[in-house]
A and B are shown apart, each in its own frame.
Chain A
Amino acid sequence: MTTTQYRVIGSRPVRHDGADKVTGKAIYTADTKLPGMLVGFVLRSPHAHARIISIDISEAEATPGVHAVLTAADYPNVENKMADLGEGSINLSYLSSNCMAQQKVLYRGHAGAAVAATDVHIAEEAVKKIKVEYEVLDSVTWVLDAMKEDAPLLHDDMVTDSMGEKASKPSNVPAHLHFEKGDAAAAFAEADVIVEREFKTATVHQGYIEPHAVVADYNEDGRLRIWTATQGSFTCRQQTAEILQIPLGNVLVTPCEIGGGFGGKITVYLEPTAALLSKKSGRPVRISMTRSDVFEASGPTPGSFMRVKIGAKNDGTIIAGEAWLAYDAGAYPGGVIGPGCMCVFSCYDIEHAVVDGYDVCLNKPKTSAYRAPGATQVAFATEQLVDELAQKLGMCELEIRQKNAVKEGSRRVDGPVYPPIGLVECLDALKQSDHWNTPLQGPNRGRGIAAGFWFGCGLKSSAACTVNSDGTINLLEGSTDIGGSRTSIAMQLAEVLGLEADDINPQVGDTDTAGYTDVTGGSRVTFATGMAAYEAGRDLQQQMKTLAADLWDCPADEITVDDDGSFSGNNRTLGFKELAVELFAAGEHLVGRATVSPECPTNGFGAQIADVEVDPDTGKVTVLRYTTIQDAGKAIHPSYVEGQLQGGTVQGIGWALNEEYFYKDDNSMANASFLDYRMPTMLDVPMIDTIIVETGNPEHPYGVRGVGETPIVPPPAALANAIYNATDTRMTELPMSPPKLWKAMQKHQAS
């Protein structure tokens, strides 16, 4: 536990963007209006899988008010080159054809053409006049079906890469991953108890409130300006430049305020299309997705099939694990099977384990990251099996977790050895919590717990701070602010300099003004961009020491900086502000800067407790009480940490209980609206209680760990365990919606 006393860190100042957000003055992409701006509309495939025979745009082009019509023919050819998006990489030709279908449409909603017109109604009408001749092909939307020999093939040239070895004939499985440690088969032979089950999870969507939107202005001089809702302006710039085959430096991306992303606003969808429509029409173009576009044609997170087995000795030591995982990647390769494989046993110190994972292409939109991408699925499997194991051994479900929890020195199945981590501390906090110590009473009620993990990454961040003549600071950084990061970054700078949070004016710069900064993702911003701000503060202090030495007429190495940020030397002491004012008056103006690229994961662990009541007549689950516990390393702004824990948990509850892509017989989505894609409302969740554990991350000056993603990992498992304890029915399929739970209870009662 960290014991250092801080002045700013750990306090709860009002966020810098708070007033703009609550008064509606914050500028989102769809608020952006440029002179002469056109509105774009995208033609989307009505089929889940079809070959495009021909596209006739003549009638659309002739429509009054239409300024440009675009098809894949207007897109440049891009090679099969991998582009690094920061939190994962992607093949550019796939990325390009996901933005605009070439030859084939691979999912319902796949873009096939686009129109720019003077208003959205004209654009929409003109899109209807585009005549596309399709040859409809067989389609497939379930992973196991897509893996079959005779499954309809999405990509004729795609073969399975099995840990570097290429298969000879095409399939829908671009990658097979394999990890092992020890000798799992031998360990299972030695196990006293083995539990094994198959699990399925449905495709789910991040459900951010703001649909994707973009404004593009392609200038006569070849400069392209983009305003967009993105989690990463620099990755957006790179993807757009590469797809359009134009110099990176010609593209300026301005990140507008963003209405949620959760991993779904990293890949580009509309930017290249808006840019090309702008180029063709010579006018700025705005495109916004409708909600059904967002569901059908952005990047949901995978459905999965999992078979997981664990074995233990009679004393409760888990000695063997085995997992076979197939995740749907959507229409193009590169889903989140990798982290799925790495997370399946990430919470437990299992000496012998083997994991096989399959990335599977099928006729759904290309999947994207969603808060701890790939981890929630496997936690749903493993955390239920751990409960089952405890039950068979007559152990308490908490005790078995405490006994087997990973700690410093434990090695994960994919190789890394953990540095100091906080799972044990989270489980201890769970054990001491009021929730755990308050018995749950009443019929049809049950309590469940589950643990969860997400890596949290470092990547590249930059920060620059300009000192104003009054000693306050303008902080320029490049991390799109989704969860209050302006403030959590500014607080770290304020702490190091001895200022207050509101002495710092943090701004998210565009790609022309901010230093290179990777995506807002991987729970990295407060950690890495915060670290950049801290280092920029240190840079300022270094410069000020030199200048103060001149001012005070003493050697620079005699100047010291105290914990409160004050400078001392030659019998003089001045606070940061006072010194800055004095230096400015003396003709010195200051800019501090830093770039960082920490490579270590921040290793966020958590544990959760869920109490439910199940209506035995309908299978409807009511969540009665919920507690989310997480190791934040050090909570910079505890309110935002609590907000992350609550938000992630609520999304996990939705994933657990009702959310799913529901497919019709023709493999089109039946519920592409918030009416029938059921995210929880205010009335569906109780207050989520939070307990912040702080174990301190040695890789960060204040001990920060990423917190944004881990809280979505345990909920489906914790709720499944609670439902089991309420109904004696083990749910192995997500969502655990009323019809499914009722059916499972019927079956259980019959057997």
Chain B
Amino acid sequence: MAPKSVSEVVAVLSEQGDRAKLLAGGTDIIVQLREGLREADVVVDIKKIEEVTSFNYCPENGLSLGSAVACYNLYEHPELSKLYGALADSTHIIGGWQIQSRASVGGNLCNASPAADSIPSLIALNAIAVIAGPKGERTVAAEDFCTGPGRNVLENGELLVSIQIPAQCSNSGSAYERFIPRNEMDIAVVGVGSWVKLAADGTIADARISLGAVAATPLFAEQASAILIGKEPNEEVFSAAGELARQIATPISDMRGTDEYRSHLVSVLVKRTLITAVERAQN
């Protein structure tokens, strides 16, 4: 079914509970249903709903991104791709371009993969998830949205309506980088998102670093972010942040890499994304 309003979706979800699954781009849910990883009696297409398929930016409130907006809208947008560099980086590498023309950032967040490419960027950019449900609307910070691999905070009857990302100023910059063994069509062995805001004197006024694929959920690296504040942006400082970030990583060993390797990659990627984020902020 394809309801025309959020309230209709809430009604269906409330009634069907776990037997209803939402369809935005469908790049995860269709595969999961096909492979028997999830089951559903009803698949609810939310792409007929204006609120979840539109996005807009204003310098006061920032970006309001409907949960079903496909990835390409972000990296192809001349201003948004500059303002939200990390998110442009992420959306540009989720699958190939066929996937990017369907897959949504909201879906990527709800799918709650520990290795999701857009979630570290959302966390670094301080994004807020706007959720509608039977009891009305509520908001949850991006770093609190995922609760485990494939699990999120959404309760019975709830759906993600949009993602709100704060406005950016000319002296802020962000970047996302993941490590994959190949050069495309792959899943992050480790992904890192970094955001910085520079003060007038060139020092770091504020920073947020987040990590993907090194724990059950994407992580906000609070201490690693905090030590950057007030410092000159240089490799030594970035390495220190990388070291702190590495300490909160609790990766597993699997076919994509060992825990030791993943931890090491955290420090490498924190450094690399900070370099890019600062460069973007300076330009």
A interface residue numbers (CB < 8 A to B): 617-618, 620, 657-658, 662, 670-671, 675-676, 678, 680-684, 737-739, 742-743
Q: Which residues of A contact B227 (CB under 8 A)?
A: none
Query: Secondary structure of the A side of the interface?
Result: loop
- Are B255 and A742 touching (Cβ within 8 A)? no
Taking a contact as CB atoms under 8 Å apart, the answer to whether A742 and B183 are in contact is: no
A680 to B183, CA, bound (A): 9
Among B2-10, B130-138, B204-212, B256-264, the one that faces the other chain is B256-264
Mask: chain B, 245-266; 1 = CB below 8 Å from A; 0 = not: 0000000001111101100110
B268 within 8 A of A: yes
Is B55 in contact with chain A by the CB < 8 A criterion? no
A contact residues around B258 at 8 Å (CB): 739, 743
Chain A residues closer than 8 Å to B181, beta-carbon distance? 620, 657-658, 678, 737-738
Since A618-B265, A658-B181 are in contact, a sample of 20 more A-B pairs with Cβ atoms closer than 8 Å, ordered by chain A residue number, is A618-B179, A620-B179, A662-B254, A670-B254, A671-B255, A676-B187, A676-B255, A678-B182, A678-B186, A680-B182, A681-B183, A682-B184, A683-B182, A738-B181, A738-B189, A739-B257, A739-B258, A742-B264, A743-B258, A743-B261
Name the B residues within 8 Å of A618 (CB-CB).
Answer: 179, 265, 268
User: In the complex, how many angstroms separate the beta carbon of A227 from the nearest chain B beta carbon?
Assistant: 26
Known contacts A617-B268, A670-B255, A681 near B261 by CB under 8 Å: no
10 A-B pairs in the complex with CB atoms less than 8 angstroms apart = A618-B268, A670-B254, A670-B255, A676-B187, A676-B256, A678-B182, A682-B184, A684-B183, A738-B181, A742-B261
Most buried by A among B179, B181, B187, B265: B181
Q: Which of A675, A739, A742 has the most chain B CB atoms closer than 10 A to its own CB? A: A739
Interface residues of B, Cβ cutoff 8 Å to A? 179, 181-187, 189, 254-258, 260-261, 264-265, 268
- Chain A residues within 8 Å of B264, by CB: 742
Given contacts A618-B179, A680-B182, A684-B182, contact A738 B257 (CB under 8 A): yes
A226 CB, min distance to chain B CBs, angstroms: 29
Chain B residue at smallest Cβ distance from A738:
B181
Docked Cα-Cα span, A683 to B182, in Å, equals: 8
**Closest B residue to A657 using CB positions:** B181
CB distance from B107 to the nearest CB of A (A): 18
Question: How far apart are B253's CB and chain A's nearest CB, in angstroms?
Answer: 9
Question: Which chain A residue lies CB-closest to B264?
Answer: A742
Total contacts A to B, CB within 8 angstroms?
A: 49
* A617 vs B177: C-alpha distance when bound (angstroms): 14
Contacts of B255 in A (CB 8 A): 662, 670-671, 676
A683 touches B184 (CB 8 A): yes
Contacts of A657 in B (CB 8 A): 181
A739, B261: Cβ atoms under 8 Å?
yes
Closest to A735 in B: B181
In the complex, what's the smallest C-beta–C-beta distance from B33 to chain A, in angstroms?
Answer: 12
The 4 closest A-B pairs by CB, nearest first: A662-B255, A683-B183, A739-B261, A617-B268
CB distance from A522 to the nearest CB of B (A): 31
Interface centre among A618, A662, A683 (most CB of B within 10 A): A618
**Complex contacts, B184 vs chain A, CB 8 Å:** 681-684
Residues of A within 8 A of B268 (CB): 617-618
Q: Nearest Cβ distance between residue B36 and chain A, in whole angstroms?
A: 9
B186: A residues at CB distance < 8 A: 675, 678
A738–B255 alpha-carbon span in the complex (Å)? 12
Instruction: Please name all residues of chain B whose beta carbon is closer than 8 Å to the beta carbon of A671 when the two chains form the complex.
Output: 255
Most-contacted residue by chain A among B185, B189, B255 (CB, 10 A):
B255
Q: Report the Cα distance A671→B182, complex, angstroms.
A: 15
Q: Give bound CA distance, A711 to B255, whole Å.
A: 28
Shortest CB-to-CB span from A134 to chain B, Å, is 21
Most buried by A among B184, B185, B189: B185
B182 with A658: CB separation less than 8 A: yes
A187 to B197, CA, bound (A): 70
A549 vs B185: C-alpha distance when bound (angstroms)? 67
List the A residue with the shortest CB-CB distance to B257.
A739
Inter-chain CA distance A662–B254, complex, in Å, is: 9
Chain B residues positioned under 8 Å from A683 (CB to CB): 182-184
Across the interface, name the chain A residue whose C-beta is closest to B256.
A676
Chain B: which residue is nearest A622 at the CB level? B183
Chain B residues near A670: list those with CB within 8 A: 254-255
Nearest B residue to A128 by beta-carbon distance? B36
Q: How far is the CB of B113 from chain A (nearest CB, A)?
A: 12
Nearest neighbor of B255 in chain A, beta-carbon distance: A662
Instruction: Give Cα A662 to B257, complex, Å.
Output: 11
In the complex, which of the residues B187, B254, B261 has the most CB atoms of chain A within 10 Å of its own CB atom? B261
Contacts of B261 in A (CB 8 A): 738-739, 742-743
Q: How far apart are the CA atoms of A36 and B184 in the complex, in Å?
A: 43
| Cα distance, A676 to B188, chains bound together (Å) | 11
